[in-house]
Structure 1
Amino acid sequence: MAYNPAKLADRLQELAIARSLIPPKFLTGEPKLLTKKWFDYRFLSPLEATLQFGAAYREGVRNYVHKNLDRDLAQRVEGVSVALPSAPTSTFTQLWAARQRADEFCIPYEEFIEFSFAFAAGRKRQMAPTPIQLHANPTTEYAWHAEFEKFRANRPSFALNPGTDLPQYHIEHDRSLAAQTDFRHALASAVSDNPGRWSDVIVRYHLLEPQLSRSMVSDLVPEDVREQEFENAESEYDAGKWGSRTSVTLDDTDFFQSCFGMQEAQAEASDQCSLCPHREECHFHTLMVDTITDRNFGSVSPVAVARRAVGAARVAKHRAKKAALASTGGYI
C-alpha cells in the first residue's frame, strides 16, 4: 500500500495520544460504532471525531444560553475545551463517552446536539446540560427516545438532504470496506423509499456524485421506465444541466476507517474485523501504535497502568494503616 508518510504519522500519533488519555474500556468500543456512526465520521480517527463533537457541543451550549438564559453571556460561554488535555481528565473522558453515545444514532453531531438541547429546554433546565447529560437517563429515557424519533422523522432523508460528499464513497474508490458497503445499502434504501424523478437519482448518485454503481441504480429504477430514465439522465448530464463532476485523488491513508489501529480492532476481534480487507495492515499498525505509545508514555496502555498504580498505592496505604493499628493495640 502507498501511504502518505505525514498522514500516517499523524494518525498513529493520534491513536497513541488517545491511549494516553482514555481508559481502555472506551477504546475497545470503537470498532462496534463504525457502521452506526454518521457517514462523514467513518474515516476520522476517534480522537478527531471527539474534537469535532466537542466543537459542536460548545456551539450548542452558546445557542442554549442565548435562547434560554442570558444573551449577553452566550458568546463568552466555553462549554468544554476543544483543546487536547496534556493528561487524562474526567471532562475529556466524558466528552469521549458522550460522542460514542451520539455515534449510536447515525446522525450528524450538530443535529444530535440540537435535539438534546431542545429536549433540555423543554424540561426547563436552569443549566445547560453537560456532554454526558445530553443523553437519556433512567428518568427521561421513555420521553427522550419518543421525542428523538419524532425529531428524526421530521428531518429529510439523508439521501435527499444530501448525506455526504466524501470521495471515499465514490464507486471508483470502492474497496469493499464495511463503511462503504453499509453506506451504499443505506443510500439505496433511502432512495428507494423517496425516489423523486428517477432521472435525477441516476444523475445525482451515479453520474455526478458516483456513489452507486450503474447496476445498483438500475436495480432501483422500475424496469418499464429504466431505459428511458437512463437516456433522460445522460442527456441532461451531457448538456451540463447538473454541472461537472469533480474527481478527487486519494492515497491509501485516506481509507483508514475509524476503527483502524485500535487495540481491539484485530482480525480475531469480530466478524467485521475478520472480513475487513485492511485487517493485516490494521494489525500491523496496531503494533506500531503499541511501540509509539510505550516510547512516548511509558506503557502500551498508560491510563490502565496509572489507575492500577493508584489502586495499588491505596491498598498499600490501607494495609500500612492496619499494620500500624495492630502494632499499637488499636491506638496511633
Structure 2
Amino acid sequence: MSFNKPKVEKRLSSLIDLAGRLDKKILSRELDLMITKWSDYRFLSPYEATNVFIAAYRNAFKSAVRTHCDIHEAANSRGIDLLALRKATRSTEFTQLWVARQNADSVGLPYDVYLQFCFDFAMRRKRRRLPRPNQLFWNKETQIAWKATFAEFMTDALNGGVLRPGALPQYRIETYRGLLAQELFRSTIIELTKKGNRPLRHIIEDRSLIKRQVPAELFSEVYGAYAFETAVRSLHQQIKHHPIQVDPYIAPDEVDLWQSCFAVPWARDTQGPICSVCPAAEGCGRLGNYVLSKIKRKYGTDDPIAEMEKTGARKRQARKRARDKVSGVNPSGTSTLHAGGASS
C-alpha cells in the first residue's frame, strides 16, 4: 500500500491546528472513543468526524424545526453558522460541537440516528427551544430519564435493523491487519446478525462472499458447527447454478488505515491495553511525536491552551491592577487616599 502525501499532510496539519483550539483533556478522549464509536467513523480523523457530525446536526435541526416548530422556517434553519465557525481560531461553539460529537461517539450510534433520538427526547420534555449541541447529552437533571429512554431506543434500533454498517474498504478481508477497529467491526457484524432473523446461509452469502467483510468460519463459532455446515452446503448448491457477484474492491492507501486515534496529540497511552497491542503503534508513535514537536514549534509550548489561559489570566490581572491604581485602591482592596487627598 502507498502513502498519499497530500492526505498525510492534511491529516497531520489538522491535528497540529487542533492543539490551539481544544484542551488537552478533550483531545485525550479520542483513544477510548475509537472503541465505542460507530464503525463507519473509526478510520476518520477526529476533525473529519466532527465535520460529519456538524452536517448531521444541521440536517437534524432542520428536520426538528419542520416537525416541532414551523415547516416554513425549516428551509432557512441552520442551527450552526458555519462561516463564523470556520473564521474563529478558537470558539466556544466549536468546542461544544467537538464535545457533542464525542458524546455521540461514546454511545456508538451513527450521528443521524443519535441526533434523531436527542431531538425527540428534548422536545418530548416540552422544551421551548431546540437543543444546542451542548444540550443534546444528558445532564444531572435528565440523566435517569435520558438513559432509560435511550436504552429502549437502542433495543428498538438493534432489533429493527436500523443499524447497518457501511461497506468500507478498510473492513474488507483483503485489507485485514488485525487493527482493533477491524476486530470490533467483525464483532459488531456478528452481534447484529444474532439480533436479526435472517437465515445463516444469507448472512454468509452477504457478509463473507459478496461484501467480504467477515471470514465465514467466524460464524461457525457463533451459530455452531452443524448450522454452519448446513448453511455452507446450501450455498455451494446455489453457487453452482447462480454464481455470486463479489462487490468491487479498491484497496485503501496507508493513510486510510489510520484509525481515528492515530497520532492524536495527548491521546496515546503506550502502556495501556489499546496502544500496547496495536499493530500500528510504532508508526503512530513516530508521527505522534512529530505532531507534538510541530505543536511546540508553532505555539512555543507543548500545551497551547493552558498557556493561552495563563496569558489571559495575567493580562486580566494586569488590567485590574491598572484600574485599581487609577482609582486609588491598593491590592488589599482599601483606598490609599485620605478624605483630604493626602496619602496614608
After TM superposition, the score normalised by the length of structure 1 is: 0.91
Instruction: Classify 1:73/1:226 alpha carbon distance in 2 versus 1 (closer, same or farther; 3 Å).
Output: closer
Partners of 1:207 and 1:237 within 8 A in 2: no
Q: Which has the larger radius of gyration?
A: 2
Query: Which moved further from structure 2: 209-218 or 233-242?
Result: 233-242
Aligned equivalents of 2:48, 2:298: Cα separation in 1: 20
> Partner of 1:70 in structure 2?
70
Aligned equivalents of 1:86, 1:269: Cα separation in 2: 36
**SS state of the match for residue 22, structure 1?**
coil
Alpha-carbon distance, 1:187 to partner? 2.0
139, 163, 166: which is aligned to 1:164? 166
Aligned equivalents of 2:324, 2:118: Cα separation in 1: 49
Alpha-carbon distance, 1:310 to partner? 0.6
> Partner of 1:124 in structure 2?
126
Partners of 1:39 and 1:163 within 8 A in 2: yes
Task: Say whether 1:50 aligns with 2:55.
Answer: no
Partners of 2:209 and 2:244 within 8 A in 1: no
> Partner of 1:21 in structure 2?
21
> Partner of 2:288 in structure 1?
286
Alpha-carbon distance, 1:235 to partner? 4.0
Alpha-carbon distance, 1:30 to partner? 0.7
Task: Say whether 1:326 aligns with 2:330.
Answer: yes
Aligned equivalents of 2:9, 2:21: Cα separation in 1: 19
What do residues 7-65 of structure 1 show as CA deviations (whole Å, max 9, x unaligned)? 11111011112212111110011101011000001111111111111111111111111
Amino acid at match of 1:282: C
Alpha-carbon distance, 1:100 to partner? 0.6
Aligned equivalents of 2:123, 2:143: Cα separation in 1: 16
Task: Say whether 1:194 aligns with 2:199.
Answer: no
> Partner of 1:142 in structure 2?
144
Task: Say whether 1:97 aligns with 2:102.
Answer: no
Task: Say whether 1:87 aligns with 2:89.
Answer: yes
* Aligned Cα root-mean-square deviation (Å): 2.5
Aligned equivalents of 1:62, 1:193: Cα separation in 2: 32
What do residues 76-128 of structure 1 show as CA deviations (whole Å, max 9, x unaligned)? 11111345344100000000011111111101000110011111111121211
**SS state of the match for residue 325, structure 1?**
coil
Alpha-carbon distance, 1:189 to partner? 2.7
Aligned equivalents of 2:288, 2:102: Cα separation in 1: 21
Instruction: Classify 1:237/1:313 alpha carbon distance in 2 versus 1 (closer, same or farther; 3 Å).
Output: farther
186, 202, 218: which is aligned to 1:184? 186
Alpha-carbon distance, 1:158 to partner? 8.7
> Partner of 2:230 in structure 1?
228
Alpha-carbon distance, 1:151 to partner? 1.3
Partners of 1:94 and 1:132 within 8 A in 2: yes
Query: Which moved further from structure 2: 310-319 or 193-202?
Result: 310-319
Sequence identity of aligned pairs in percent? 30
> Partner of 1:7 in structure 2?
7
Structure 1: which 5+ residue stretches go unaligned? none
Instruction: Classify 1:129/1:160 alpha carbon distance in 2 versus 1 (closer, same or farther; 3 Å).
Output: closer
**SS state of the match for residue 128, structure 2?**
coil
Query: Which moved further from structure 2: 317-326 or 70-79?
Result: 317-326
Amino acid at match of 1:12: L
Aligned equivalents of 1:160, 1:239: Cα separation in 2: 32
Amino acid at match of 2:58: R
Aligned equivalents of 2:167, 2:19: Cα separation in 1: 30
After TM superposition, the score normalised by the length of structure 2 is: 0.88
Query: Which moved further from structure 2: 222-231 or 92-101?
Result: 222-231
Task: Say whether 1:38 aligns with 2:43.
Answer: no
Instruction: Classify 1:35/1:158 alpha carbon distance in 2 versus 1 (closer, same or farther; 3 Å).
Output: farther
Partners of 1:31 and 1:264 within 8 A in 2: no
